[in-house]
């Protein structure tokens, strides 16, 4: 059975956690969802998300080095910004996970094989190319280029979190960005 508790963050303390554990049991799992009046208001904005993307250093040859300036900048921000970066990224990838974008991708393939991973990495590149390119692709799926991919964007938040906390990033973002997750658009 699932129970929903609405609690102000200021009311969460060690005693609250102990009481919750006693009532629900030590093996119970909880999901924490942070709500505000506007998405990420005061925490990390969409504008800041695109500013992080703009930090990619395309002069670098190694893809891990390309994302490094954004990783370092994000690691200097509060942990909540790292989570929100991942949420914004998931939303962008989800929004272009459509049949029309997939058709544009497939028109550029030399065979009839549809790789769900390759299509994800091409969508990653659409985000990595920056806001203007992404917004054009979002509105005009036929403009999607299958010639570029950029899987490394998926590791920006995880690497920033590791630098910030010394721990592994275990987070399920707001949107599932795996190919064909945007069911309504397929």
In this structure, is residue 155 part of a structural domain?
A: yes
In a domain, 80, yes or no: yes
With a cut of 90, say whether residue 9 has pLDDT above it.
Answer: no
Domain assignment present for 99? yes
The proportion of the chain whose per-residue pLDDT surpasses 70, expressed as a percent, equals: 94
Q: Is residue 10 part of a domain?
A: no
Residue 114: pLDDT band by 50, 70, 90 thresholds?
Answer: very high
Asked whether residue 25 is assigned to any structural domain, the reply reads no
Poorest-confidence range of 107-111, 116-120, 136-140?
107-111
3-state SS, residue 32 = coil
Q: Is 3 inside any structural domain?
A: no
Q: How many domains is the chain partitioned into structurally?
A: 1
Q: How far apart are CA 126 and CA 142, in angstroms?
A: 12
pLDDT at 40 over 60: no
Instruction: Summarize pLDDT for 63-93 with one digit per residue, the tens.
Output: 999 999 999 999 999 999 999 999 999 999 9
The residue among 29, 82, 19, 78 whose CA lies nearest residue 52 is 82
Length of the chain: 186
Residue 26: its pLDDT value, please? 77
Shortest CA distance to 49 belongs to which of 174, 165, 144, 180? Answer: 174
The answer to whether residue 96 is domain-embedded is: yes
Confidence at 1, pLDDT banded by 50, 70, 90? low
Domain-embedded: residue 35: no
CB atoms within 10 A of CB 121: 20
| Domain, as residue range, for 54 | 44-185
> pTM of this prediction?
0.80
User: Measuring CA to CA, which residue among 182, 172, 154 is closest to residue 97?
Assistant: 182
- Residue 14 has a pLDDT of 78
Cα angle vertex 44, ends 83, 38, to 5°? 100
* pLDDT band with cut points at 50, 70 and 90 for residue 19: confident
Read off the tokens for 183: 């069911």
Coil/strand/helix, residue 110: coil
């Amino acid at each position: 059975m699932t129970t929903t508790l609405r609690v102000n963050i200021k009311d969460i303390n060690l005693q609250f956690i102990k009481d919750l554990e006693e009532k629900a049991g030590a093996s119970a799992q909880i999901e924490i969802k942070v709500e505000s009046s506007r998405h990420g208001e005061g925490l990390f904005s969409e504008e800041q998300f695109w500013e992080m993307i703009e930090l990619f250093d395309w002069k670098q040859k190694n893809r891990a080095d390309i994302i490094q300036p954004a990783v370092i900048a994000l690691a200097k921000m509060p942990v909540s910004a790292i989570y929100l970066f991942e949420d914004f990224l998931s939303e962008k990838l989800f929004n272009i996970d459509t049949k029309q974008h997939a058709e544009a991708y497939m028109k550029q393939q030399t065979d009839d094989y549809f790789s769900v991973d390759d299509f994800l990495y091409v969508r990653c590149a659409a985000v990595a190319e920056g806001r203007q390119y992404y917004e054009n692709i979002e509105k005009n799926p036929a403009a999607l280029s299958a010639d570029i991919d950029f899987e490394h964007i998926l590791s920006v938040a995880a690497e920033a979190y590791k630098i910030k906390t010394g721990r592994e990033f275990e987070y399920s973002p707001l949107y599932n960005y795996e190919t064909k997750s945007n069911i309504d658009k397929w």
